[in-house]
Amino acid sequence: MIEVKQELLSALGAAIEALSPGAKVAAAFESPKQAAHGDLACTVAMQLAKPLKKNPRELAQSLIEALQRQPAVQRWVEALEIAGPGFINLRLKPAARQAVVSEVLAGAAQFGRQDANANKVLVEFVSANPTGPLHVGHGRQAALGDAICNLFETQGWQVTREFYYNDAGVQIATLAASVAARLRGLKPGDASWPENAYNGDYIADIAADFRARKTVKADDREFTASGDVNDADGIRQFAVAYLRHEQDLDLQAFGVRFDRYFLESSLYTSGRVEATVAQLVAAGKTFEDGGALWLRSTDYGDDKDRVMRKSDGSYTYFVPDVAYHVAKFERGFAKAVNIQGGDHHGTIARVRAGLQAAGAGVPAGYPDYVLHKMVTVMRGGEEVKISKRAGAYVTLRDLIDWTGRDAVRFFLISRKADTEFVFDVDLALKQNDENPVFYVQYAHARICSVVRQFIDKGFDEAALAGANLALLTAPSETALMRKLAEFPDMLAGAAATLAPHDVAFYLRDVAGAFHSYYGAERFLVDDAELTTARLALLVATRQVIRNALAVLGVSAPERMDRDTNIPLKDPA
């Protein structure tokens, strides 16, 4: 189907050139929203109507006539129809739809992926301050960020995963003060307990390990505690290393990795913050008022100018962000994507304004942002707000422990990032069609069960390469093959729009098409050729489900039986 589509795109390009030489209209197809409208749709006639000053339906008819003269159209297209104001719907011949099965089997794990290229992208996500366990919002960010990285990789990009964290400042000072209070024997609720202290049980754990002079090691640091309650700097360093280690464990449990950890403090120690401020001042984009240094961010579309350096000499939080993104660009990342919580919306305009004002060659609109909304956790019909370990919120580890990594990943990606999401723990544990991750994984396991039964009967999978795919003509087979053929374009579109939820939607559609096929047809039939053809379609479907789940970081189980408390249904 991929090769078929490429041939038809070339044919469409030739037809456009014949109809309007030199026209600046790209040859492109869309997928009709309803299968009854055909396999491919084209809007070229409507695009050409205005420049050519012609009726779009008349142009569509002329374009159809030009297309019908193209060999690829004669080979692969069964019918061309005009619809609406000038759409052209293409109905393909069965052989064109059936070709996708061979393409999937040949491509295997690479099906849908593009060749590696020189494009580089840095994706920054999670970036949680080391002041406590990761919460469910961090989990949504981790799932989104990792899936977006995987999507870029399917398109051949060179991807760097980066975690940026604040290892200094007010929050870290509060963390150190909280641990110090625990070391002095205080606890939440005591009269002398610091007003803004962190109250979770993890603070007591840090204090106990500090007193025991333990060594903690994170991905980016290692520190041994002195045990001295008066060692303020040691308490701070130990607490940060301890929580960095805890976050590493959370991320490992979630199957998320990073290529680099970037410390905010390095922007100060390296002189990058001062250098960036100097650039902005030299460019004439700042002014002094009330003892503070301001950025003329309204020159770049912000709703008001922003304070950069307060009257006490400290910098506002967006200044190191600007320095950080200048560093990203100078490191060779012409494209950068930030996955952040919705509360960061106000920083976008000022960071981009600072980058433009700095005159460092950073393009307008840099970086891209994906902002996600909060997650509400429901369990037993009630909202869960507090974790004993964290003290004030549900942690990512809680969610994984309750439902499993696959469910957490799939659920947190299953809606657009900018929509609020309710994570229903009870739904995530259901073993029926209501649970989307079960529904998709069960489709994969069901196919594996069918294949095992065929192999047990002496069938050789190597025979699939020579399957007579022309026998795949049942309506449920046609519907399933259509869905498989959409996979490469779906991946490309999801990567371009930073929309991993499209993969989750697609998986549900493929699983639905398969389950319908499973219910409509028998696979082990008297006709050996038909058996082989249907098995080829099943194996191709299994491969596409597996490839799509891999993008989301979700496993593709081959068995869902009593070992996992999920019943396996044998095929008809």
Q: Let me know whether 261 and 392 are in one domain.
A: yes
Q: What is the pLDDT of residue 219?
A: 83
Q: Let me know whether 23 and 50 are in one domain.
A: yes
What's the whole-model pTM score? 0.91
Residue 357 in any domain: the answer is: no
Residue 296 in any domain: the answer is: no
Residue 338 in any domain: the answer is: no
Q: Let me know whether 174 and 243 are in one domain.
A: yes
CA distance 237 to 172: 9
Residue 323 in any domain: the answer is: no
Residue 21 exposed, middle or buried by CB count within 10 Å (0-12, 13-18, 19+): exposed
Residue 445 in any domain: the answer is: yes
Q: Let me know whether 407 and 469 are in one domain.
A: no
Residue 295 in any domain: the answer is: no
Domain end, chosen from 384, 405, 429, is at: 429
CA distance 539 to 105: 8
Do 514 and 543 touch, CB atoms closer than 8 A? no
Q: Let me know whether 201 and 152 are in one domain.
A: yes
Residue 239 exposed, middle or buried by CB count within 10 Å (0-12, 13-18, 19+): buried
Do 519 and 528 touch, CB atoms closer than 8 A? no
Q: What is the pLDDT of residue 572?
A: 36
Q: Let me know whether 418 and 463 are in one domain.
A: no
Q: 549: which residues sit within 8 A by CB, 6+ positions away?
A: 440, 441, 444, 507, 555, 556
Residue 325 in any domain: the answer is: no
CA distance 195 to 337: 37
Q: Let me know whether 72 and 215 are in one domain.
A: no
Q: What is the mean pLDDT of each run of 10 residues along the chain (572 residues)?
A: 89 91 87 83 91 91 94 94 92 95 96 96 94 93 98 98 87 94 95 91 96 93 96 96 93 95 92 95 95 95 93 92 96 97 90 94 95 95 78 87 97 96 96 95 96 87 91 96 96 98 98 97 91 96 98 95 39 38
Q: Let me know whether 255 and 185 are in one domain.
A: yes
Q: Let me know whether 542 and 471 are in one domain.
A: yes
Domain end, chosen from 34, 67, 92, is at: 92
Supply the CATH number for residue 35's domain: 3.30.1360.70
CA distance 446 to 514: 10
User: Into how many domains does the chain fold?
Assistant: 3
Write out the residue range of the structural domain in which residue 232 sits: 125-269+373-429
Supply the CATH number for residue 250's domain: 3.40.50.620
Query: What's at 493, amino acid-wise?
Result: G
Domain end, chosen from 68, 92, 116, is at: 92
Q: Let me know whether 134 and 251 are in one domain.
A: yes
Q: Which two tokens stand for residue 34?
A: 């309803």
Q: Let me know whether 425 and 440 are in one domain.
A: no
Q: Let me know whether 144 and 261 are in one domain.
A: yes
Residue 170 in any domain: the answer is: yes
Supply the CATH number for residue 540's domain: 1.10.730.10
